[in-house]
Amino acid sequence: MSGTVLRVGHLVVEFSGGGAFSLNREIVRAVRDVSFHIGQGEAYGLVGESGSGKTTSGRCVLGLQKPTSGSITLGADDVGELARHDPQALHQRIQAVFQNPISSLNPAMTVDRILAEPLRRLAGVKDSAAARTRSAELLDAVRLPSDVLDRRPTELSGGMAQRVSIARALASSPTLIMLDEAVSALDVATQAQVINLLADLRDETGVSYLFIAHDLAVVRHLCDRIGVMSQGELVEEGNSADICHRPTHEYTQRLLAAVPVPDPNVKRVRQDLRTR
């Protein structure tokens, strides 16, 4: 792990509720003073329940949401600055994979053309034959056969579509990929395939991940370090094993205790009841 890829410092995001003319405008503080960093080749997990501010933080990192205050630096550059002046340079370096596999892909395009877009615009592959060759390589990297190139998103299964999204994210050889609940819409067996794939790709390319999810077990499996968010705050941060085995914050402990364990001998739901 040489060097820091992303550094988020004192990030604050506020939304004003109600319309522009609303009388009772209330300020919703979605993210409150969040700081973390991601090293090169590191997978950083951001965990929390709905409304914890994890997705909003991720959107700030991508330059899709303007922070109220705080700093986000990618390498030596300010993300907000890049997003304003050279979004293509920003997105060459940061890519994303979203939750819903099928609707993340343009239904009107073939996979070939979906992959050609970032290749042409971000990776500088102008020649269409070269783009096709490179697209086939990308599909191969995500363990998909090259005949997928000529299919449309509606002809793909959820797992295949999510691999295409990952291939698209890889096209510009980014330093960081943000994965927002990227495996939570998938079935268990497919989810396992995609998690393994993500682990392999990191080993092969040295890309870093910002992995946003609600499922602690999944995050634990893929990530080196984990930040736990609750109500806009980063309540605890540490390496994965520490967070999962020796949580210090009360919220993390509650979160961990709530995760169902596929072992009937644990049966905590029932034991809790008996000891109550």
Interface stretch with another protein, choices 28-36, 72-80, 90-98, 202-210 (CB under 8 A)? 90-98
Tokens of 239: 């390496």
Q: Is 107 in the site for another protein (CB under 8 A)?
A: yes
Beta pairing class for 176-180 and 208-213: parallel
How much of the chain is helix, strand and coil, in % rounded to 5?
Answer: 40, 25, 35
CB atoms within 10 A of CB 168: 24
Q: Which listed residue (92, 175, 208, 252) binds another protein by CB under 8 A?
A: 92
Binding mask 9-48 for another protein (x = CB under 8 A): ----------------------------------------
- Positive or negative: CA dihedral 234, 184, 147, 152: negative
Classified as helix, coil or strand, 143 is coil
Of the pair 10, 268, the CB lying nearest another protein is at 268
How far apart are CB 45 and another protein at their closest, in Å? 12
Q: Which of 10, 66, 69, 103 binds another protein (CB under 8 A)?
A: 103
Minimum separation from the CB atom of position 10 to another protein (A): 25
What's the CA gap between 80 and 70, in Å, rounded? Answer: 10
Site mask for another protein (CB under 8 A), range 221-240, x = bound: x-------------------
Rounded CA gap, 112 and 178, in Å?
A: 23
Yes or no: say if 223 and 244 are a contact pair by the CB < 8 Å rule. no
Counting Cα atoms < 13 Å in the Cβ hemisphere of 255 gives 26
Encoded one letter per residue, x for contact with another protein by CB under 8 A and - for no contact, window 46-75 reads: ---xx-----------x-x-----------
From the CB of 199, what's the least distance to another protein, in Å? 7
The one among 6, 46, 105, 223 contacting another protein by CB under 8 A: 105
Nearer to another protein, 148 or 218 (CB): 218
- The span from the CA of 79 to the CA of 71, in Å, is 8
CA dist 237 → 32, 35, 209, 224, 229 (Å): 15, 10, 16, 11, 9
Region 112-141 residues binding another protein, contact defined as CB under 8 A: 117-118, 121-122
What residues numbered 167-226 form the site for another protein, per CB under 8 A?
Answer: 168, 171-172, 187-189, 191-193, 195-196, 199, 214-218, 220-221
Cβ-count burial 250-269 (b if 16+ within 10 Å, e if not): ebbeebbeeeeeeeeeeeee
Rule CB under 8 A: which residues touch another protein? 49-50, 62, 64, 87-88, 91-92, 95-96, 98-100, 103-109, 117-118, 121-122, 154, 157, 159, 165, 168, 171-172, 187-189, 191-193, 195-196, 199, 214-218, 220-221, 244-245, 254-270, 272-273
